[in-house]
Amino acid sequence: MQSRVILDSKKLQLTIDRLCYQIVETHKDFKNACIIGVQPRGVLFADRLVKRLQHLFPNYTIPYGKLDITFYRDDFRRADKAFSPSVTDITFSLENKNVILVDDVLYTGRTIRSALDALMDFGRPNDVELVVLIDRRLQRHVPIQAKYVGKTIDSINSEKVKVYWQETHEEDKVELIAHTDKPL
Amino acid sequence: MSALSTKHLLGIKYINTEDIHLILQTAKEFKEVINRPIKKVPSLRDVTIANLFFENSTRTRISFELAQKRLSADTINFSASASSVKKGETLLDTVNNILAMKVDMIVMRHSSVGAPMFLADKIQANIINAGDGTHEHPTQALLDAYSIKEKMGELKGLNVAICGDIRHSRVALSNIFCLQKLGANVMLAGPPTLIPKHMESLGVKTTYNIREALQWCDVANVLRIQLERQDIKYFPTLREYSLYYGINRELLDSLKKEIVIMHPGPINRGVEINSDVADSKQSIILDQVENGVAVRMAIMFLLAGRTF
């Protein structure tokens, strides 16, 4: 098994800062926008994003919710494992809002497809944009595209992308992991 | 730990503590779902569920039906009063005929003890026991446990009294198993004629003095006097029962602490419980009903997801 760091803690911080400025460029003062993190791992990234936005722009109030997509998955009763739901915590209506959906890794796109279904149960948003930290652009199963991307990588199916956060692991980093003896 | 250890929910006796925790945890997320403006998720849209009620039921059936609709399952309802059972068909034939129409899950209530266990090893579909005679009513015990947990935070070490007609109650037996698996202490209280002698062998305390039980407990689950199941007279009159075993405001106020009051319904007001108790802020009776839908959604979601 081989692994390679594709974003270290310093680069990750720069990436998050860039994404924050890009989001603010579009949404100005968050008057009509909100951030929704996709459970479970997208929330860790969204937590960080919201924290940084709040730090960079202390005058803005940023509505922030967490969305669990377990009940909307398209592989329920088809996967070889059981799913356990995480908490959904959206205390405001999404009706006519500009929703900024946040996940850590965009891979097949199926999670985001499910998330779009789930979002509609909280009202009809004006529009929905997607922020991802890593875009594995070659493996999409459904036509889904992120508007804000931390880093785009080319990877194959047998490889894994793992995002580590200080909150749950020792340091912030993103790794590409492969079951091979050759160095990546 | 994210899958149940069993493909059926036949009784609390047949599932383990991890299963119970998984159901209660999943129910919490479903409770959030049923409090959304759109109270429905698409999880079970390719699942067909048959509700077979060989014995009358209103709230359990409505609760199951609502849970199924909120999971987007297709449902069919069957009640024995208007069915071929009257024409002499056997239980297995009835069920097999329904399963031949591609039904994935069965929710069954039956007046005979063990009816769902009898079916379990004969059919492919998942079975949920919605009450078998005076034996078990697992979904009621799980929603009771959920309601206690929601109110008190934790069940471990809690004292729970089950009061009233223990002899005829499937809720009592399932509750005893469930509470014990979650680490709570159980005391049964009621007239000697309505508490079977062997109950202590389950590791519960018993008392014939309702005040003693209420003084001991943190939560009192008051059961309905099941007149329809009583073949002989177990106590002289309802008035006398109410006098000695009914729970009223005066009795509650005379205790040193404030306890939580539960009742699985339907209530016989003025018999086992008075209105000034049932409708008070100590009572979580209507929370139990709301939680029932969330807990049943969790059970059906977890059983349906267990396809491997």
Chain B residues with CB-CB distance to A86 below 8 A: 29
Q: What percent of chain A has pLDDT over 90?
A: 81
Q: Is B278 on the interface with A (CB under 8 A)?
A: no
pTM confidence score: 0.92
Question: Which chain A residues contact residue B31 at CB under 8 A?
Answer: none
**pLDDT tens by residue, A59-89:** 999 999 999 999 999 999 888 888 889 999 9
Residue B305 has its nearest CB partner, among A83, A120, A122, at A83
Nearest Cα to Cα of residue B234 among B273, B195, B208: B195
Helices (H) and strands (E) in chain B, counts: 11, 9
Is B1 a residue whose pLDDT tops 60?
no
Question: Tokens 């909150």 correspond to what residue?
Answer: A167
A31-64 b/e (C-beta count within 10 Å ≥ 16 → b): eebbbbbbbebbbbbbbbbbebbeeebeeeebbb
Question: What is the average pLDDT across A109-114?
Answer: 96
- pLDDT interval class at B228 (50, 70, 90): confident
d(CA B48, CA B202): 37
Question: Looking at residues B189-217, what average pLDDT do you find?
Answer: 94
For A:83-102, CB contacts with B below 8 A are 83-89, 93
Which of B130, B202, B191 has its CA nearest to residue B163? B191
Q: What is the mean pLDDT of residues B68-73?
A: 97
Using CA atoms, how far residue B160 sits from A161, B24, B260, in Å, is 49, 18, 9
CA distance A2 to B232: 76
Task: Please give the DSSP secondary-structure letter assigned to residue B86.
Answer: G
CA distance B252 to B254: 5
Please list every residue in chain A whose beta carbon sits closer than 8 Å to the beta carbon of residue B46. Answer: 77
pLDDT given at position B248: 94
pLDDT reported for residue A181: 73
Cβ of B43 within 8 Å of Cβ of A117? The answer is: no
Q: Please give the structure tokens belonging to residue B47.
A: 């699942």
- List, for residues A129-159, the tens digit of each pLDDT value: 999 999 999 989 999 999 999 999 999 888 9
- Residue with the bigger pLDDT between B285 and B56: it is B285
Structure tokens at B135: 């034996």
Task: Name the burial class of residue A147, with classes exposed (0-12), middle (13-18) and buried (19+) by CB atoms within 10 angstroms of its CB.
Answer: middle
Return the C-alpha torsion angle B141, B143, B144, B145, nearest 10: 90
Q: Which residues of A touch B67 (CB under 8 A)?
A: none
